[in-house]
Amino acid sequence: MKIVYCIQGTYNSGGMERVLSRKANYLAQAGHEIVIISFNQQGRKPFFELHPNIVCYDLAIPYEQYQKPGILNRLALYVRFPQLHSLHRKRLEQLLLQLRADIVISMFNEEASFLPSIQDGSHKILEFHFSKHNGLKDLRRGIWRLIDELRAKKDERIVRPFDRFVVLTEEDATLWGALPNLRVIPNPLPFYSDRPSDCTAHQLLAMGRYDDQKHFDLLIGLWAKLAPEYPDWRLVIAGDGKLRPELTAQVERLGLKNIELMRPTNQVQDLYRASSIYAMTSRYEGMGLVLIEAQQMGIPSVAFACPCGPRDVITDGVDGYLLEVGDHAGFIQALRRLMDSEAERQRMGAAARIASKRYDLEHIMKSWLALFDELVHSKQS
């Protein structure tokens, strides 16, 4: 089959880009013709390695130029957006008519609002790597809450015309209601390692973008309460983003020495292997790819049960600890319990590694190929 993925770009180190590379490489290796169409690559190299048979195109739509901070940039984007949107559709439609793919998949970027109406003969799939209830509507009030609710209604209208709408968790599926095109396919493990962590290192790990979603300022605050009791332990937060200056200032203000705000790395297996506990304080997730990575590397996780993902991934008390959102004392206590007991870390880490088999690449890709075959077969019949 010829399968096309549409994404903003492949230059980021995020979970969506990592998962796309994993799935696209698998399909290319299996002999399928894979194309990735970005609209904001700007000549940057993919962060994750892509199979040499994968063909990449960039539509060069300059949304990013108007997405910088500041009211003037926001006003400029508001004025220019219809023109940019029209240009995006024109260029994507021309390319898809040329490619004549069997399947075209949107990663829920700007093209999602118009992709189903492009008559190129392909079946259209929408992948949602977040959650319908993204957590923000409980944090914002007034006009901003109204805007969030309007966006949610808009998303509901966007997903309906697609042949299939794929979400990552059973929890998220319940939030969308009885959509006839809805399917649940989790993300696959980005890697497999035969050398997991032995859970002896005195290191906690967190990874992700430095933004409001990941709530690393909360993690740093909780660590500040715990760190004095454990001077031989350290916390590593690997990632980058707009909040780096604020997080750095917070670490300095609290006088924390046993913490590192580490830059993104491709050597994530080594980072997991050097750690014994994974900590997640996110306000919301699509699934929580780092949780299944930690499971594969034999590391127990401590996470808040934010929407959506941790409830699907973690079995509380078996392969990690799941705390209700806002239970800061419980989060600290769960970390303390694991930090105090190497045997407990190893027991839970072994259970986590077994649990990760649910997300084996072969298993997940069988679900995707079955979905592709279902669509292509329905077209032929």
Give the pLDDT confidence score for residue 162 in this predicted structure: 98
Is domain 203-359 given the CATH code 3.40.50.2000 in the classification?
Answer: yes
Give the pLDDT confidence score for residue 151 in this predicted structure: 73
Whether 2-188+360-376 shares its CATH topology with 203-359 is answered yes
Q: What is the pTM of this model?
A: 0.83
Q: Please state which CATH number belongs to domain 2-188+360-376.
A: 3.40.50.2000
Q: Which residues contact 262 (CB under 8 A, 6 or more apart)?
A: 236, 237, 238, 239, 271
Give the pLDDT confidence score for residue 74 in this predicted structure: 66
Supply the DSSP string of 178-237, one letter for each residue: S-TTEEE-PPPPS---SS---S-S-EEEEES-SSTTTTHHHHHHHHHHHGGG-TT-EEEE
**What is the tens place of the pLDDT at every residue in 100-130?**
999 999 999 999 999 999 999 999 999 998 8
Give the pLDDT confidence score for residue 80 in this predicted structure: 82
Give the pLDDT confidence score for residue 302 in this predicted structure: 98
Contact predicate 284/214, CB 8 Å: no
CA distance linking residue 237 with residue 204, whole number of Å? 9
Q: How many CB atoms lie within 10 A of CB 230?
A: 17
Give the pLDDT confidence score for residue 177 in this predicted structure: 87
Q: Which residues contact 71 (CB under 8 A, 6 or more apart)?
A: none
The list of the chain residues with pLDDT below 70 reads: 65-74, 76-77, 133-149, 379-381
Identify the three-state secondary structure at position 88. helix
In the chain, where the domains are located: 2-188+360-376, 203-359
